Structure 1
Amino acid sequence: MNGRRAARLEKLGMAWSAADARFQENLAAARVYYQEHWTLCAPRSAAALDRPVGQWLSNLRRPGALDGHPEWEAALLAVDEDWNPPWPAEWQRHCAALRELVRDEEGPAEVLPGFTVHGMDVGKWLARQRKPEVWGALADGQRERLEAVGVTPLAAPTPVEQAAPTEPSTAPVSAFEKGVAALAQYKARTGSVTVPRAHAEALPDGTEVKLGVFLSNTKSRRAKLTADKLAALADLGLEWAAMEGAVG
C-alpha cells in the first residue's frame, strides 16, 4: 500500500492500531458530548454513547499523555480549541455555557444569578468573574474569552475618605463644667445626687473635683447662676436647681 493511499484512508477514519481504533471511538463520543455541552472540558463523570468521555478526556489532559500522537491532539483541537486549557476545566465549562447563552445577543452579556445550564449557575459564576479582585486574578486568556462575549469587570468601589481624626479640644474647661461632669459620673455610679460634703470625685483625665464642696457652694449661690447652668444641674436631678430655675 503506497503512502498516498494510506493517507487517504487515514482521512476517512481508518485506524491502523487498536489504540487508534479506541481513540476514534472515544473521539466520536466526545463529538456528541461537545454538540450537547459546547465544550470538551467535561467532568470526569460525563458519558456519551455509553463511553466515559469525561474520564477519557481527563486522562488525555495529563502531561505527556499525547506524546507521540500529534494527530490525536490535532483531532481534539479540531473539535474544541479549548479542550485542554491552562486554567481549570470547570471554569472553561462555565465560560462555554455563557458563550452559547449570549451568542445571538448584542451588547454586554447579562445573565443573572440563578440562571442554570447543565446544573451550573452561570449567572452566579458570571457575577463573581466581574468582581475587580477576581477579574484581576484571571489569566490573560480567561479575560480575553470573557471580553469576547461582552463581559467587563465591575468598577472598583471608590475609596471612602477617612475623616481626619478629631483633635482633642484645647479649650479650657471651667470649674462649673468639671463639677457637673463629676456629679454626672457620681450619679451614674451610685444612682444618687446626694453627695457627702467631704467627697472628692476623680474624673477620667485625672482631675479631682471636691464634689461635696462644689454642690454646697453652688447651691448657696444659686440665685446668681445663669439659666443654662441651673438647667444642667436640674437635668441631673437637683430639685433646688429646678425650683430656682422656675422662680427665675
Structure 2
Amino acid sequence: MSDGAQLAEIVPGVTWRGDDIGRWLTRQRRDFGRLSPEQQNRLAELGVQPAVQARKAPAAGAAKTGAARGAEAFTRGLAALAQYVHREQRTIIPRQHTEQTTVDGQDHEVRLGVWVSNQKSRRDKLSGEQLAQLAELGIDWA
C-alpha cells in the first residue's frame, strides 16, 4: 500500500511481483477466525477486517428437526418397502438394494436394504403404529 493503493482496491486479480495479493487478501478476510491472534493483529494494523458472512437461508425442508425428519424418512422407506414387496412378492431384501419411489409427488431413491436393517436394529424405538405397518408388509420381526 506504499504505492498508493487503497485496501478496497485490492481485489482478486490484483498482483504484486507476480502474486495475486487480491486473492490472498480475500482468503485472509474469509478465514480471519482461523488465523492466530498474532496474524489477526498484524492484519488489523493494516486495516484488514474479517469478511462479513452472509447468513444462509435454511434450505427448503431444512427447518424440520429430528422427529419430523425421521417420520418423513420412515414414510419414504415404508413406501419403498411396500413397492418392493408388491413387485417381488417377498420381504428378503439384499442389503445393497436401492428402490426408486415417489412420495407426495417427489421422487426418492431409498437404500432399502440398509433402511430395513436400520429399522430392525432400532425396532425398540419404533412406535406401535410403525411396527404394525412393517408387520402388514410381512416383516416378521415387527
Shorter-chain TM-score bucket reads: 0.3 to 0.5
Length-normalised TM-score, structure 1 = 0.27
Greater relative contact order (CA < 8 Å, ≥ 6 in sequence):
2
Length-normalised TM-score, structure 2 = 0.47
- Largest Rg, 1 or 2: 1
